[in-house]
Structure 1
Amino acid sequence: MRQIKAIVVDDEPDARRSLKKDIQQNFPEINVVSLAENSEKALEAIEKHQPDVVFLDVEMPGKNGLEVARSLKTQNIKTTIIFTTAFDHYAIEAIRYAAFDYLLKPVDMEELGAVLERYKTERNGHSLEHKLERLATWLSPDRIHFDTPNGFIYIRPTDIIYCESNKKKETTIALANGRTERVNMKLKQIEALLPPRLFARVSSSVIIGLNYLVKVDDQTKTVYLENMLVEYEFKIDSKHLKKLI
């Protein structure tokens, strides 16, 4: 088996050395070629060694691990990133959303083994560029302002599963956290505010979030969305179906 070249990035010296030692003792197919203690040295090491895998700490001074991941896109470096982090709900949600693997500190060897098995079987899956685009979208500070019957609300586009209008010129927005919000806006107004690469209109009354789209059935003209094991389905007009497939 070809050796897997890896780099460990962590601002804590003990954490760097401990992870390297654990990897060497338990996974001889992995060769840790470099250790880095901050974002600048991490980017230098990644550019120099072109590793297969980077174990990247999220919480670091200066640029954090999520920002380092985004910086790799500009260097056109293709590598697999496995984030390591003490539990931080926001960071974990961002990592999950972007389809990156992660390990919670202190790193458990069984979990590391499972992550490495996924790496071996899925290394030709979603590209780093695709994952970084999703990560950047999640981390965007942008919020959209919507008027509600009782005031207004700010919603992050990536939290929107679908928007469905009714005959009263109101729209229901379903969110990833399970909530729904009723806003006093027509669907056409909302469509103009949403990033077009993340959303698609499927009928005169429904816009779907493409990040939650899991299936399109062109025979029954139905689209299926999924979030946290909850499935949604909507009929799609023929003219919109052609654009979606």
Structure 2
Amino acid sequence: MKIRTMIVEDERPARVELKYLLKQEDDFELLFLAVDGSEALKILEKNDLDLIMLDIQLPGKTGIEIAQQLQNRDNPPYIIFTTAFDEHAVEAFKLSAVDYLLKPISEQRLHKSLLKAKERILDQGNYQKKMENLLNILEANENKEEINKIAVVDGDCFLMLNFQDIYYFSTKDKKVWAHSYKKSYMTQFQLKDLEEILPDYFYRIHKSYIVNLKNIKAVIPWFKGKYQIRMENYSESEISVSRSRVDEINKLLNLK
């Protein structure tokens, strides 16, 4: 299966050159070309892609702004930034970019960057297979709630965590993490899958967070009618509640 790719570049010569170089790579399939940020986001709303070659200086939304928006999605595509300037490199890597290529881009340099992207994408595919196997095990059990545990990654093995010991789940770097008392573990799941198997006392307060309602210590009013939540015995900064979930949180926690 080929890696589904899009090039986002407003300068035609650079766009043509990247298209040519990418076509030399057998494992990659160029599906879309976009000339600005708005066009790229419209394409991403309707299509699942594995990789974006993303210019930073674009009309409308910049490449950095596009990458920031994608971070809030489940399974966002990987990104290779392409630019004539090196001033955004630190910010790009904070957004978990695969690479940051300075123009003009040589065929050798691009090939090396695409290999990195391929390794990450294949690794993600392996995680998905493991996750599917775990889900099949759970689904084979007629009463899922009797298990009361979830598998998390602990070194080279799967550790079985009790649901009640998990304070919340969050997404970071395209992975979902389970946070217990002062320790976090990577899981093989996506948040949408966890919503299907977790007990009722877990609630998705944000597209990036599911919290254990039993372990909420404080609900903090925030600007524009939103909330932030602080977990019991957990030192990390507050977790935001999506505006669309505020009314439901009010009902669940008897706030209003």
TM-score, normalised relative to structure 1: 0.48
TM-score, normalised relative to structure 2: 0.46
